[in-house]
Structure 1
Amino acid sequence: MSDEEDLEDFEPDQDDLDREDEDKETEEWDEDRKEEEDLSEEWMPTPLTEDMMKEGLSLLCKTGNGLAHAYVKLEVKERELTDIHLLRNYIHLRYVDISENHLTDVSALNHLTHLLWLKADGNRLRSAQLNELPYLQIASFAYNQITDTEGITHPRLSILNLKGNHIRSVTGLDPEKLISLHTLELRGNQLETTIGINLPMLKNLFLAQNFLKRVEGLDNLKNLTTLHLRDNHIDSLTGFSKELKALQYLNLRGNMISNLQELTKIQNLPKLRALVLLDNPCTDETDYRQEALVHIPQLERLDKEFFEEEDRAEANEIRQRMREEQEQDAEGDMGPDQP
């Protein structure tokens, strides 16, 4: 795998946004199994050794002034590691995979000031906090035991994956420090609110499988193009601000929206092109697709099907008829002219 491919490893694929539905049961099973293992076993101390380092190092590159060379890529996943303090001596590392171990402390990473790419999934971390790493671009801490989002301040961080942890609210994500963050992955946590996600440069936000009842506090996400909210408890679309003027894809599958009139609250999103509402009570209504298009004329796709030209023409006719009826009602309310 090339360095460029490595750096894009956590980049969400827009074409696969719906495909994750089929992966959901497998992911939940993996997470349940890991939690059971964490509760049932006490791990033997297993420190990272020089022999493991020799086996896991690769990618020889120039360092410093270009006169010296060092290996900059390390893969030591699935080694049952409990201690990585040896990494303090390998300051030239740029790509590090320490996933699927038993780590509770990764403070040794603070010494890797050239780090570009970090994968620490499937450990026992309770925090993703590290010193500011000036070159870190991609960091994944999926499926740990992290409870908050404090202490993440890397200025070049573009993709942050915190999927499958125990985060209840988002705090400490400073937009003045996270100036490059465009993708935030928070699926499968315990979020009860979207307040605290104040990151104007964010483009992709994944909040599926949490405990959200509504959307709030996202007014500053003016560059957000993708918002994924599947499998929450959302019953109202109040809180979707017109300031989300770049939003193109909105996934609300598996929520509790029962009234299609709620769609009037997102009709002011000018670039909304794809909407997913499967597994909401409102999808049982007669002419569900047609009514959705009437409320949101800019839609190109609802669920997994694109609208045809005849669908759009019929929705336009209904919309025109509704306007005429409203005008007639308004004239009737004015009453006859007085002499």
Structure 2
Amino acid sequence: MLRSHLNLIRSGSDTTEEAAEVETIDESVKEIPVRCLQKSQVCGRLRMKLTRIDAIRSFKNIMFLDVSNNCLDIQALQVIAELPYLILIHADDNKLSSAELKPMKYLQVIIFNNNQITSVADVHQEQLSTLELGFNKITKIDFKSKMNKIKTLAGIELLVNLRILHVRNNPIRYLDGFNEDQGKLQYINLRNCQVATLRQVKKMKVLKALDTLIMKGCPYMGGKGEEDAEKEEEDDPQIRVELLATLPRLKRINKDIVTPEEREESKMLMAHWVEEGEKEEEEIEDEQQQEEEMSQIEN
């Protein structure tokens, strides 16, 4: 392995202008001269505003690659698919408009902060465990069936312009990660996730624009956290009211619009909670008990 010789390729110490190959390019990107990585430069730290890194394909044993602070687009980055043992790619501050990479057998971590990415619907890597896309132009997250191993939403607070979150069919139990800066988030689909308690639902109270919530199939709503081929049952009316009392701005819960009757009942429940006091300790105990039960089922 060359890990001891090459862990990072990134902007760093000084290099000479002779290290870059400058070519003419089309009018649309003429402000960025073409700068190609040379094999002789790979062992050093680079500050070259690279537009191509084709020379990296000669170093087959690279496991960790950092090409941050360059001028790479997603086409130029596809060469990393020829690195058979790559585990992590870090490409902050480039010209990436997408995070779609060719499939790689061992790729586990993608870090593409501060780019121009607008969607994650085209991201699919079999072993991917971490996807970091802070400070891009993403307005919608929709993985559908392409990624169904997401266990946490931690880090999603960086996506302050997010409007739609669609993470259906993922083993998500805890809803940590939301914060009040996400003032544009209106739609969340958690269908067939593993959310089991009202305490987790309350973590969405900070989302002031949230008006549509899909939780069909979650244990909290009586589901099993998985697709059910059987005929869908109607929502439990009391659970709908409980959801509405917790998130009073909701206009739609699952497939049905909130009715005036449900809204009135939710106000009564809210008043009851205020009088009685919300019993946080009991909710924690209930959550722990459900966690134990779910763990026993899984084992």
> What TM bracket, shorter-length normalisation?
0.5 to 0.7
**In the alignment, which residue of structure 1 is the partner of 2:174?**
236
CA apart distance, 1:149? 5.1
Instruction: Work out whether residues 148 and 170 of structure 1, in 8 Å CA contact, stay in contact via their aligned partners in 2.
Output: yes
Structure 2 CA distance for partners of 1:64 and 1:251, relative to 1, 3 Å: closer
- What letter is aligned with 2:180? K
- What letter is aligned with 2:129? E
SS at match of 2:245: helix
**In the alignment, which residue of structure 2 is the partner of 1:199?**
135
CA apart distance, 1:169? 2.6
**In the alignment, which residue of structure 2 is the partner of 1:324?**
275
Q: Does 1:170 align with 2:106?
A: no
| Aligned-partner Cα distance in 1 for 2:254–2:75 | 30
Give matches, 1:11-160, under 5 Å. Answer: 132=71, 150-151=90-91, 155=95, 158-160=97-99
- What letter is aligned with 1:228? H
- What letter is aligned with 2:139? K
Which of 240, 245, 248 is residue 297 of structure 1 equivalent to? 248
CA apart distance, 1:138? 10
| Aligned-partner Cα distance in 1 for 2:75–2:260 | 42
| Aligned-partner Cα distance in 1 for 2:174–2:219 | 12
Structure 2 CA distance for partners of 1:318 and 1:216, relative to 1, 3 Å: same
CA apart distance, 1:193? 4.1
Structure 2 CA distance for partners of 1:221 and 1:288, relative to 1, 3 Å: same
Q: Does 1:182 align with 2:118?
A: yes
Structure 2 CA distance for partners of 1:167 and 1:318, relative to 1, 3 Å: farther
Instruction: Work out whether residues 197 and 217 of structure 1, in 8 Å CA contact, stay in contact via their aligned partners in 2.
Output: no
| Aligned-partner Cα distance in 1 for 2:125–2:113 | 22
Instruction: Work out whether residues 225 and 249 of structure 1, in 8 Å CA contact, stay in contact via their aligned partners in 2.
Output: yes
CA apart distance, 1:163? 9.5
Could you give the per-residue CA deviations for residues 258-308 of structure 1, whole angstroms, max 9, x where no partner exists?
113311111111111111112211111852222111111111112222112
| Aligned-partner Cα distance in 2 for 1:160–1:197 | 9
Instruction: Work out whether residues 224 and 244 of structure 1, in 8 Å CA contact, stay in contact via their aligned partners in 2.
Output: yes
CA apart distance, 1:235? 1.0
Unaligned runs of 5+ in 1: 1-62, 66-108, 112-126, 328-339
**In the alignment, which residue of structure 2 is the partner of 1:43?**
none
Which of 190, 196, 199 is residue 258 of structure 1 equivalent to? 196
| Aligned-partner Cα distance in 1 for 2:103–2:165 | 17
Instruction: Work out whether residues 172 and 195 of structure 2, in 8 Å CA contact, stay in contact via their aligned partners in 1.
Output: yes
| Aligned-partner Cα distance in 1 for 2:270–2:157 | 29
What's the TM-score, normalizing by structure 1?
0.48
Aligned length: 197
SS at match of 1:324: helix
| Aligned-partner Cα distance in 1 for 2:71–2:181 | 31
- What letter is aligned with 2:261? E
Which of 237, 262, 267 is residue 311 of structure 1 equivalent to? 262
**In the alignment, which residue of structure 2 is the partner of 1:11?**
none
| Aligned-partner Cα distance in 2 for 1:326–1:163 | 53
| Aligned-partner Cα distance in 2 for 1:159–1:312 | 42
- What letter is aligned with 2:217? D
Instruction: Work out whether residues 189 and 210 of structure 1, in 8 Å CA contact, stay in contact via their aligned partners in 2.
Output: no
| Aligned-partner Cα distance in 1 for 2:75–2:253 | 32
SS at match of 2:120: strand
Q: Does 1:224 align with 2:167?
A: no
